Amino acid sequence: YIPPQVWAWRAGRARTLARFTRGAVVLFPFEEGFLRRYGVNAVFAGHPLLEVLAPVLDSPAEPARFGIPPGKRAVGLLPGSRTAEVEKNLPALLSSGRLVAERAPDVHFVLPVARPSLRKSIERGVSGCGLPLTLVEEDRHRLFRCMEAAVAVSGTVTLELALLGVPSVIVYRTSRLNYHIAKRLAKVHSVGLPNLVSGEPFLPELIQDDFTPARAADALCGMLEDGNRLGALRSRCLALRETLRGPGPTEAVVDMLGREAADAWS
């Protein structure tokens, strides 16, 4: 269940999967065909995020609950879920936020704290940043429902946002060594999961040196200042629900294990 992402790098590992596994339940539709070409009995049965997000997929926004002032547009700043990601990306996110605030004074920023252990480092990072900003630790998916758009470090969170109808500017900075290693190994042209799932880069991506505060601010304001474009991006995001919908990955795993057990005892 959830095999290594061999479609992204070191595709030859798929042959190892074929050799040592009886089957695989995958996260994305394109993985099924990719792995089957290598002889893996792969099945796509839907993405588990849809099960996780089910209680909030169509719930009403509750901005007051998260300290978002009346009449303000909530914009998310999401610096990542690991300490190194936060250290590399938070300063540029805040700088881009200041540029956005100059152009869109009706914006209020919200920053979900991905893990309690990150709280202190994030508080230090945002101290004195001069932004209308609220840190939120709980119920982040309901918080996402309040957002009009976001700037988010690449990861599963960008797909969570998209499935809840929130377009994002996808960004990422890492160490130069890690970046060059990943660039040599990666076999994909996009890093953002919404773009990978849709098959085209409909959300902007700013990676490593391309991620500057000015570029991120321009990309975000390009959404916020154009209601038609923002609406079209939101529709593209919501369409991913159907792309990732299936009978259910949990049921698929249980079914596969049941068939394996039946074969073993027959």
Task: Indicate which CATH number applies to the domain containing 137.
Answer: 3.40.50.2000
Q: Are residues 187 and 237 in the same domain?
A: yes
Q: Are residues 172 and 189 in the same domain?
A: yes
- C-alpha angle with apex 21: 16 to 22, nearest 5 degrees? 140
| Structure-token match 């470090």, residue found | 153
* Average pLDDT of the chain to the nearest whole number: 89
In a domain, 4, yes or no: no
Q: Are residues 187 and 68 in the same domain?
A: yes
Average pLDDT over residues 123-140: 94
What was the pLDDT predicted at 189?
A: 74
What was the pLDDT predicted at 38?
A: 85
pTM, to two decimals: 0.88
* Residues sharing a CB contact under 8 Å with residue 123, sequence separation 6 or more, in sequence order: 135
In a domain, 255, yes or no: yes
Q: HSE-up of 189 (CA within 13 Å, CB side)?
A: 5
Dist CA 159 CA 31 (whole Å)? 16
**Residue pair 50/44 in contact by the 8 Å Cβ criterion:** no
Q: Are residues 73 and 62 in the same domain?
A: yes
Q: Are residues 73 and 28 in the same domain?
A: no
Q: Are residues 250 and 146 in the same domain?
A: no
Question: Which domain, by its residues, includes 20?
Answer: 13-46+246-265
Q: Which residue has the higher pLDDT, 13 or 125?
A: 125
Average pLDDT over residues 70-79: 97
Q: Please, what sign has the CA dihedral across residues 128, 129, 131, 135?
A: negative
pLDDT for residue 127 is more than 70:
yes
Domain tally for the chain? 2
What was the pLDDT predicted at 81?
A: 92
Q: Are residues 239 and 250 in the same domain?
A: no
Q: Are residues 136 and 173 in the same domain?
A: yes
Q: Are residues 67 and 114 in the same domain?
A: yes
Of 16-20, 50-54, 62-66, 98-102, minimum mean pLDDT range:
16-20
In a domain, 67, yes or no: yes
Q: Are residues 151 and 255 in the same domain?
A: no
Closest CA to 220 of 121, 73, 71: 73
Q: Are residues 198 and 82 in the same domain?
A: yes
In a domain, 213, yes or no: yes
Q: Are residues 256 and 151 in the same domain?
A: no
- Digit-coded pLDDT (tens) for 148-193: 999 999 999 999 999 999 999 999 988 777 766 666 655 667 789 9
Secondary structure (3-state) at 41:
coil
In a domain, 34, yes or no: yes
